Copies of this chain bind each other. A is one copy, B any other.
Amino acid sequence: MGVTIKDIADACHVSKATVSRYLNSSGYVSQEVAERIAAKIEALNYVPSETARSLSTKNSNVIGVVIPEISNPFFAEIFKGISDVAEGQDMNILFCDTDNQPDKEMKALKMLRTYHVKGMIITPASGGLKDPAYEKQFIDSVKLLNAPIVLLDRGVEFTEWDGVFTDNIKGAYGCTKLLIENGHTQIGTITGNLDLPIGQDRLKGYKNALVDAGLAVDETFIFEGDFSTEKAYQLTKVMMQSEERPTALFSPNNLTTIGILQALIEDSYRIPDDISLVGFDDIELLRTLNVKLSVAQRDPIDMGRQVMKLLLARMVHTGEKKLPQRIIIEPKLIARGSEKMKKHGQ
């Protein structure tokens, strides 16, 4: 239906091969003929087929972005940052949401391979599945892409891929230390998914801070969550009804914080009067509405921009030896009052 190379060739009285050479810059075309072809392409509104071009040059203008959950505002904002930079460079994005499921991830990788993507940004669902077989399959599958890859927020062992990561131990350490400095000695946490290194590291940072301050790590104050709002809500309900409960909580991510807040608000508990709270990641809307939550803050839009810039840099240098580029983001501790110790035990 659309305009084809043949239409252009006929209109210019040249062969299809000549038009093709012109389009792919792959051989001699005289100046005069090139100008004629360019004019016809313009006049007939011909768009060179990307599929045809990528087939001949093995070079598409598409990158893959594979992330675990676009409905989490943290990832939606990262995606916005990626999309901004990609757009400025005329790169197009094939988007995949894995829902944190390895089978969806493998499907996404296979799909990106068939499209010859020029590069990929991925937050692996596999990170720390404790399933070496899957991890090997994942790494092999990524390698088959034959394109640069940049990891986003989750590492993969035994690889030297570029990435933007977070110093999770330090972030969690800072949050917990802030509570300690405010006089808390009974500090609990609802953990993230402990199968993921980011879950383990944030728990480790919390424990390290307690130990460094000479405080006991009380396992009854550690509730195993999974980074979700629902689980955090349930665990907070249980925790608040127990006889012995912490005077303060460290929350390892935005969704956990929301679940904690939901449970506390529902039962009319106040922060920090009834329990203090410091969490990983700012919640943009609550910040806008002046809710005074203390947090370890990252800038997700900027993280998105940085990860896309790493990918662009790697795409330019393909073939050249270049050391792995790893940006480790150190969250910024912002104390807004929710860490304070007040009225407890009254």
Contacts and interface: CB of A to CB of B under 8 A. Distances in A.
Interface of A: 1-2, 45, 47-55, 60-62, 65, 69-71, 73, 76-77, 79-80, 83-84, 87, 90, 92-97, 104, 107, 110-111, 113-116, 144, 146, 229, 258, 261-262, 265-266, 283, 285-286, 288-290, 301
Q: Which 7 A-B pairs have the closest CB atoms?
A: A50-B114, A95-B95, A76-B76, A71-B80, A51-B51, A51-B54, A83-B97
Contacts of A65: 95
A262 B286 CA distance: 10
A138 to B, nearest CB: 14
Contact of A51 (B55, B79, B229): B55
A90 B111 CA distance: 9
Contacts of A262: 288-290
22 contacts: A2-B144, A47-B113, A49-B116, A50-B111, A50-B114, A51-B55, A51-B114, A52-B55, A53-B114, A61-B111, A62-B94, A62-B115, A71-B77, A71-B80, A71-B301, A73-B73, A76-B76, A90-B107, A94-B94, A95-B95, A265-B289, A283-B285
A104 B265 CA distance: 43
Nearest to A264: B289
Contact of A83 (B49, B70, B73): B70
A84 B111 CA distance: 16
A146 B102 CA distance: 35
Given A52-B55, A76-B76, A262-B289, 7 more contacts: A49-B55, A51-B116, A53-B114, A70-B79, A71-B76, A93-B95, A265-B290
Contact of A289 (B45, B96, B261): B261
A175 B45 CA distance: 47
Contacts of A111: 50, 61, 92
Contacts of A97: 80, 83-84, 87
A251 to B, nearest CB: 14
Given A51-B51, A87-B104, A288-B229, A70 B80 contact: yes
